[in-house]
Amino acid sequence: MKLETADAFRVRVAKHAALADPARLRIVDLLTLGDFSPTELQAELGMASNLLSHHLRALEEAGLTARHRSEADRRRSYLRLAAGALEGLVPGAGQSARRVLFVCTRNSARSQLAAALWKQVSDIPTISAGTHPADRIARRAIEVARRHGLELADTPPRLLDPAAEGDLMVTVCDNAHEELAGLGGVHWSVPDPLRLGTDEAFERAFKEIADRITGLAPRVLAA
């Protein structure tokens, strides 16, 4: 019985071969939680930059990772898992948390959507906040939530307080992540839908956040 094409089999073999290296498996474990810049990976792994570059090239060539430029600092790039990278594979890193804290700059769209989506799939408490909160939630964020059967809380955006012990902080904005550098947590490099301000941009952001929530929630256990 033919289960898959020869090309698909070769792709799967290449992924397994890339993951056979302990350093590459650790990198993929980290990327199952969020996006990392090469500098952040280097610090996390304690690895020389030339060796890290070698491993990152191998992962990209195997179709496991993708890279894109930061919206905040165009000299900076972030690594993420490529779409479908882990089909048939099961690496992953677990987390424990008393509460999940979603953060973006304005707390007017991405972090609000993330918190609303989290409440649908997890009993672990969640809140959202911003490093520089706006006056109100973005109208299109409310609209895209409603199109998907969600109601955003009728509360103004809030300023980020220092994360409490046991919180898992998830930044969903490059600006917030880079402003809060060194505080740990998880980063999702989700493009700002307000930059384009279209329904399509908000739909893309909603889908990406929903996909990330689906992937993270099973690996976060109540502390």
The pairing of strands 65-69 and 77-81 is antiparallel
Architecture of the structural domain at 6-81: Orthogonal Bundle (1.10)
Which tens digit of pLDDT belongs to each residue from 49-63?
Answer: 999 999 999 999 999
Which tens digit of pLDDT belongs to each residue from 109-135?
Answer: 999 999 999 999 999 999 999 999 999
Please state the pTM of the whole predicted model.
Answer: 0.73
What residues does each domain of the chain span?
6-81, 95-222
Rounded-to-integer distance, Cα 6 and Cα 8, Å: 5
User: Does 6-81 match 95-222 in CATH topology?
Assistant: no
CB 130 within 8 A of CB 158: yes
- % of the chain with per-residue pLDDT over 70: 95
- Model pLDDT, residue 1: 26
DSSP H helices in the chain = 6-19, 22-31, 38-45, 49-61, 110-121, 139-147, 174-179, 199-216
- Model pLDDT, residue 89: 65
CATH of 95-222, one of 3.40.50.2300, 3.40.50.1110, 3.30.479.10, 3.40.1710.10: 3.40.50.2300
